[in-house]
Structure 1
């Protein structure tokens, strides 16, 4: 395991995770592709750019998301709902594949945090539970803003020439999407929290808030980063957010390793390095490795913090 510490490994995490030893990882914080990115497509940068370019000059409000699953539009007939359900089950099976290997390498009591959309977080949790993890919580990351992406029925009826469209003023097909879900699961403890802590240094959350109160499972007022030009990843999470998750869920003890099997642009790894915690990243897209390495190199030794316990 020592040869993998503080490295970013290139490849499909379902294969790369098999190279790691049993019961060696203390925590996982990861942001896998969401379900709308899933159906029948690979997740390399060329595919992401192709799908973003399709909507560049369209009326779509959110242009940084690689749409193209084929599940957003269309006639809501029996075939559409069947295809939607098949896609969900396929996505759940895919999550189970990597979750099974992740379960094997986690220490007892290890916390695993997985980002996903509000629509599909339940399916991610089911897959993680099938792999053996125990559900603990859903943490809410409240973004600074959100845009409604559904149908404005008043305008829809007006454009199609229906009478009295104003009767449907204010009626839409969705609410404003303003938060992301973070599924929190845990590998089962060894008998209890005390024994697990003493044997593996895992199992607990740091629940003291900055103001002295008790930490909530709603994370808000997180500032967004100014992304450098070389970071072309389309869904970069704020560093402040990932640092907060590291502070709460990653134990500060000797031997701690945090893993991100979907490293993306490396924000989880940067947060871990700033906290003085060993990390392992896995990323399937080669061009993102360079982004991660540049970001990790920018973390100076002065930023790193010592472990609390050894």
Structure 2
């Protein structure tokens, strides 16, 4: 494994001037891999982040191998596959985070189902302990699947005649049926044989890794010395003081679970898990726009607040290396912790500022 820390000649020698700072948050513009090693050592209480997943989301450079390679000029990645580059990049930012976090500090980091193992390996390679994972279950993910039958007809040069059909799927707006455009009836024998086959499942969960910087000595001594090392169990309780679990639902998933399982002794099964009353994709109200700019991968605010509460001591300092639209920043302000955040793309700075300003109205 190559050394993930850039040599001094290839990086800044001190943090740049922040683009924003007040008593709630400090925001720096720059690459997290370059900036993280410049934070004061052992100065951060927790890390909560929604980093790039390495899935080439919408063809964006910040989520594919080309963007990760740009962040790693000190490492020869020319012979690496895209997944290997992603893992190396994860090791690089995690190594910088390890430097900045206090001994015993926790990490909560989202990942994609197809690349999460690479991120976890990267975090572990940097020196963290992997403590757990949280499965965030949701209902509105859309499958990116190839219709094999339709693709086979196209491969054979056969054009299907599209047809309008009625489906009984409930669209939530227009009633029990809706009009859709079908891709037509399979034409070739091969296409008929593969009708109903695809290449992907519908995404219905996102994993969140829970990691920890190794404590100094035993946990009790570490907590007393550094003020971190445990999880805020009481702060993360839900539904009549239940112990926080490593599975979390959105409301629709919880309702579906109750329909399938019914109740036992007057209690629904979903009450045994934390339920966040939001859609998988944050609502329009939660998606800030500034000067015509918005962000495509906004996490719901309630979930981020719960994660911050779970891993951060009261009035602690939380690190978000990939601020994006600023959901973690806003969540931290609402939870009364201080946020240190990095964002590489200047276009998102107004969104983050809007999040910080909006947190005032919630207080």
RMSD of aligned residue pairs (Cα, Å): 2.7
Deviation sequence 1:68-95 (CA, Å, 0-9, x none): 98xxxxxxxxxxxxx9970111111111
Match of 1:26 in 2: 45
The yes-or-no answer on 1:87 pairing with 2:115 is no
Which residue is 1:35 aligned to? 54
The separation in 1 between residues aligned to 2:289 and 2:60, in whole angstroms, is 27
Inter-partner Cα distance in structure 2 for 1:274 and 1:93: 34
Does residue 182 of structure 1 match 2:208?
yes
Is 1:269 matched with 2:329?
yes
Contact 1:116 1:181 in 2 (8 A): yes
| 2:317 counterpart of 1:257 | yes
Instruction: Compare relative contact order (CA 8 Å, sep 6+) and give the higher one, 1 or 2.
Output: 1
Q: Determine if the alignment matches structure 1 residue 239 to structure 2 residue 311.
A: no
Partner of 1:128: 123
Structure 1 segments unaligned to the other structure (5+ residues): 44-65, 70-82, 304-310
CA deviation profile, 1:67-123 (whole Å, cap 9, x unmatched)? 998xxxxxxxxxxxxx99701111111111111111011011111122121111111
Distance 1:68 1:104, change over 3 A: closer
The CA distance in 2 between the partners of 1:88 and 1:164, in whole Å, is: 33
Q: CA deviation at 1:298?
A: 1.7
Q: Distance in 2 between matches of 1:94 and 1:302?
A: 36
TM value normalised by structure 2: 0.66
Tell me the equivalent position of 2:8: none
Scaled by the length of structure 1, the TM-score of the pair is 0.77
Partner of 1:217: 246
For residue 151 of structure 2, what is the aligned residue in structure 1? 156
Match of residue 278, structure 1, among 327, 330, 338: 338
Following the alignment from structure 1 to structure 2, what is the Cα–Cα distance between the partners of residues 290 and 280? Answer: 16
Contact 2:54 2:64 in 1 (8 A): no
Deviation at 1:272, TM superposition (A): 0.6
Partner residue in 2 for 1:46:
none
